[in-house]
Amino acid sequence: MRARGSPRLLLVLVACAIACESGTGDGGRAKVRSRSSPGCRVLSASPFPAGLSWLPGPSGRAVSATFEPAAVFVLDASGEVPVLAPGLPPLAIPDDSDGDGIPEGSGAVPEFPQLDDVVVEPPALVEVELGLVTASGYEEVIVFDTRRAELATLEVGVGPDFGTRDFPRLPVPGASALRTAISTEACIRPAAPIDSSGEDYAAGFPASVFCDPEVRGSFYARFTSGATVAASRLFVSVSNLGQGANTEAPQFLPGAVLVYDLDLESLPPYAEPSPEVPMIETRGFNPTHVTRVVTGGRELVLVTISGAIGIERDDPRTPEIEQGTVALTEGAVEVLDPVTLEHLGVIPLGFGAPTFDRLAIHPSGRLAVVGSALARELYVVDLAGLAEDPIRLDEAVVYDAADPLEVPRLEGGPSLERCAPLIGGIAWNAAGDRLFVSERCDGSLSTFGFAAVEAPSGGIDPASFRWLGTSALVAPLRPDTLGEQRDPGRLRVRPGRPGVDYSGPDLLFLTAQPDGQVCAQRAESL
């Protein structure tokens, strides 16, 4: 399939912003309903805030992070405008973010953590509520205490059976040390050195270039993309982008999910690479997130496979305007057992480039939804068969790239010739009967109703979803809206029932232009 735009994963959303400035409105087909302006707070003067998550419980607090400067914010989002939680100033990520005593930029080739997402995961620690921040460039998962807005301290160890090259930024094998982050610079040993183009990327390379000279094609993980905690383990996806970023045919090396054992009851908490299975190779390329789910009483980890995504330029004379994106390999959801560490199966989604946020899980645990980085499309997976033993995947796909759930365009949005359709955020309401979807080009919020209908052949019938309407959330990406709040990204619904458990806004979302802001909005809350 083909669409125009630039995905965050390749760090070229700036190109989309430039392209969108050159467009002209060409109408649409969605109904438009009025909506009050959201209440927004500036997080950073630079665009692209790097993650958003509500804290569990009724406090109305949330956490977010910014790409530049690298910082984490604990917010009180119970009012009409999010504010910093009282007594909790922004947590600036220090130069020595992992606490190993060596500033990150001091190496021969300086590397700095580039924050990508922030996740709050159960269970809470004894004295620390665990927050996780994934960072690439300097590959790691930073840990922080959401109650105190400060870095948390873990004891991080490496088992004696590992080699010194396996985790070069962790303590030496057989030792442990106090750290404020868990390094994800890990030696990946793929089953075969085949990249996303189908080529043998190790051909002609001497053994000295591999992180394990005895394993042809081994390499160090790159582009830490997502993290989740399940079954007392930390699971971290690494996309392993190789050569050719921002080109027509970027190279992706085999993807992986790193596994760390956690002891959250000890003081300080303890973490180490799993001695059983420290790395699970993904079947597809470019794993961009991991999501914990409990379905039918069974705990699982779902891996979002976005596939290789390239940039396609129509006219080399105007690359900043005339460019698009294309899915080069298929997307999927892969299923891991966090207890046995087995790879259980693949749910294919086709050439749709699933977005890089964690999956939106229905409150029942029955469904997972992900958007497209190439089109106004949603892909839906029925998880019921995953609770069976062995798991059953034959009825798992409800909507995929070949037959997607389409998100209508908003009237007055930018031209498709100048701005890429790109799903910004997806979230279920607490009741599980509404699905909210933001779209970045036209700045819209779409609402779908959901009432489960079983298909005659089994699984959830696609007719269970019904579009209820699309309305303006922020300004569309058009030349006449420069300086206005635009480009909505990740979207989260506040835990609990609006009007019963709380009375404030029920939606929280990020925007990227003209600066990074976090915004509160009422959808069902009166």
485 inside domain: yes
Could you give phi then psi for residue 21, rounded to 5 degrees?
-65, -20
pLDDT at 37: 59
E strands, 189-342, are 219-220, 224-230, 233-238, 256-263, 270-273, 279-281, 287-295, 298-305, 309-313, 323-327, 331-336
Q: What CA–CA distance (Å, rounded) separates 164 from 186? A: 11
Residues of the chain with pLDDT under 70: 1-37, 108-109, 121-128, 313-324, 415-418
pLDDT at 24: 34
Contact indicator for 372, 404 with CB cutoff of 8 Å: yes
483 inside domain: yes
Burial readout 254-279 (b: 16 or more C-beta within 10 A, e: otherwise): bbbbbbbbbebeeebbbbbbbeebbb
Q: Which are the contacts of 131, defined by CB distance < 8 A and separation ≥ 6? A: 53, 63, 72, 118, 119, 120, 143, 144, 145, 146, 152
pLDDT at 33: 34
Tokens standing for 203? 């051909």
This prediction's pTM: 0.91
Q: What CA–CA distance (Å, rounded) separates 194 from 201? A: 6
pLDDT at 128: 58
What CATH number is attached to the domain comprising 60?
A: 2.130.10.10
Cβ neighbours around 313 below 10 Å, total:
15
195 inside domain: no
Q: Which are the contacts of 88, defined by CB distance < 8 A and separation ≥ 6? A: 74, 148, 149
Cβ neighbours around 92 below 10 Å, total:
10
Cβ neighbours around 344 below 10 Å, total:
15
Residue range of the domain that includes 514: 2-186+221-521
**Total domain count for the chain?**
1
pLDDT at 244: 82
Question: 10 in helix, strand or coil?
Answer: helix
Name the nearest CA neighbour of 426 among 418, 437, 417: 437
213 inside domain: no
| DSSP H helical ranges for 359-509 | none
Question: 207 in helix, strand or coil?
Answer: helix
331 inside domain: yes
194 inside domain: no
| HSE-CB of 133 using CA atoms within 13 angstroms | 34
Burial readout 351-380 (b: 16 or more C-beta within 10 A, e: otherwise): bbbbbbbbbbbbeebbbbbbbbbbbbbbbb
pLDDT at 274: 98
pLDDT at 6: 33
Q: DSSP secondary-structure letter at 14?
A: H
315 inside domain: yes
Residue type, position 36, single letter: S
Residue type, position 416, single letter: L
214 inside domain: no
